[in-house]
Structure 1
Amino acid sequence: MKAVSKPKALVKLFISAKKKSIRGELVLITGSGHGLGRATAYEFAKHQCNLVLWDINKDGVEETAEECRRLGATAHAFVVDCSKRKDIYKTAEKVKEEIGDVSILMNNAGVVAPIDVVSTDDHDIQKIFEVNIIAHHWTTKAFVPTMMRNNHGHVITVASTGGHIVIPFVVPYCSSKFAAVGFHRALTAELTALGKHGVKTSCVCPMFIKSGFVKNPSSRIMPPMEPEYVAKQVMKGILTNERMIFIPPLLKFILMLDRLLPDRAAAALWGLHEIKFDYVIGYKDEEN
């Protein structure tokens, strides 16, 4: 039996994965008031999902919900501060009591502070970690147990290229996104160890998105992408249960080179990209 299964597994590597149906699933997206969260909500709406939308911005999340309804989906908007554990748990209980069991969880909310790490305000560093990674643990504890009992669901972690490579002047952000990638991988391994193969996981790692997250982003080889394009790529990955979704796809190849090349060559590789965005340098050498 083992001799037969290995060739089958090898053949599957070269065959496009079959897309699953997510029609009727209850999807919760954090940070869905703008940018990628909003664009992905629209994609889920087009697949006739039921949506639970969280964001700290009341007007933004309600606008997203209204458009999702126009697209034919059921959408519920909640104002939630993902930096606050109690706010997450309280709203999660309300969702479960009033709407139902979430079967697709997309941890998308994120914050950034483009400034040198020495000059970054302590509160900003703390909030970056609270929103970008610690909140994932609270949403997971709130919603994933039901997925595990049903052995059905999908957890999507929105990380970043900054979760695989280092970028100056966003040190706390990169640190939190490296943690998000690790969270995804560890959660995936734990679900497998528990035999919960029906609960799928995906990690989204995009390059710059034109969402205003950082100002004036640019890259010579991989220019900033529209949120709508990224959302479509995210949906393709979700529907085929892709574990690591790199956007654009070229990014996967570049990251492989980064790991294989010597340090100098890897640095030269990223130098060719000319990655730029607006940031502040508050640090100054002390005068003697």
Structure 2
Amino acid sequence: DVKNEHVYITGAGSGLGKIVSKKLAKLGANITVTDIDLTAAEQTVQEIELEGGNAIAIKVDVSSPENIKESAEIATKRFGNVTILINNAGIVSGKKILDISNELVKKTFEVNSLALIYTTKQFLPQMLEMNKGHIVTIASAAGYIGSPGLVDYSASKFAAIGIDESLRTE
């Protein structure tokens, strides 16, 4: 039951994040919709509100721990402590290893892997204090099987799965 839970979801301006946000809102959760694209996040919130749900939109660059902290403060003021964190944001270049810049490789890892650590470090302490909470990682089959044109993406998703599995054992 997610009624009245506070869900903080990254990359919720479109795609799977948007779909999950809308579904959880229909089930009664309060949703913090975060995305690098504020307009897209606001559109998701508008759709949630039209269906009777509660949500706020916050522009978040998940590669920035400081930005995550700032957004957490805004979200907590609105809906209280986060009880469900969904790490969904992701980027993919689709370029072969010799065609991708080192900067884009770095950004892929920041968004697809390191962001999971940043968000977990932000929200896990309150969850432990409340003895309540869930952390969900959205990864990809590319995190299990490599593919051409996805070296950086697959490696970052392998890392995301490793972070999630290690966190579970910790």
Partner of 1:165: 145
Q: TM-score, normalised by structure 2?
A: 0.96
Counterpart secondary structure, 1:89: helix
Letter in 2 for 1:127: K
Secondary structure of 1:165's match? coil
Partner of 1:57: 37
What whole-Å deviation, never above 9, does each CA across 1:96-125 have from its counterpart, x for those lacking one? 234310000000000011111122011110
Aligned to 1:112: 92
SS in 2 for 1:137: helix
Q: Deviations over 1:148-183 (max 9, x none)?
A: 112211110011000111111110100010011111
Residue 181 (structure 1) aligns with: 161
Residue 73 in structure 1 maps to residue 53 in structure 2: yes
Q: Note if 1:84 corresponds to 2:64.
A: yes
1:10-25 pair list within 5 angstroms: 21-25=1-5
Q: Deviations over 1:188-242 (max 9, x none)?
A: 111xxxxxxxxxxxxxxxxxxxxxxxxxxxxxxxxxxxxxxxxxxxxxxxxxxxx
Q: Which has the larger radius of gyration?
A: 1
Aligned to 1:101: 81
* TM-score, normalisation: structure 1: 0.58
Greater Cα shift, 131-140 or 81-90: 81-90
Identity %: 39
Correspondence for 1:131: 111
Matches within 5 A, 1:1-288: 21-190=1-170
**Is the contact between residue 38 and residue 64 of structure 1 (CA under 8 Å) also seen in structure 2?**
yes
Question: Secondary structure of 2:90's match?
Answer: coil
Cα separation, 1, equivalents of 2:78 and 2:2: 21
- Distance in 2 (CA, whole Å) between partners of 1:147 and 1:27 is 12
Distance 2:28 2:79 in 1: 16
**Structure with higher helix content:** 2
Letter in 2 for 1:167: S
How far apart are the structure 1 equivalents of 2:55 and 2:76? 14
Read off the aligned partner of 2:85 and give its amino acid letter: L
RCO higher in 1 or 2 (8 Å CA, sep ≥ 6)? Answer: 2
- Number of aligned residues: 170
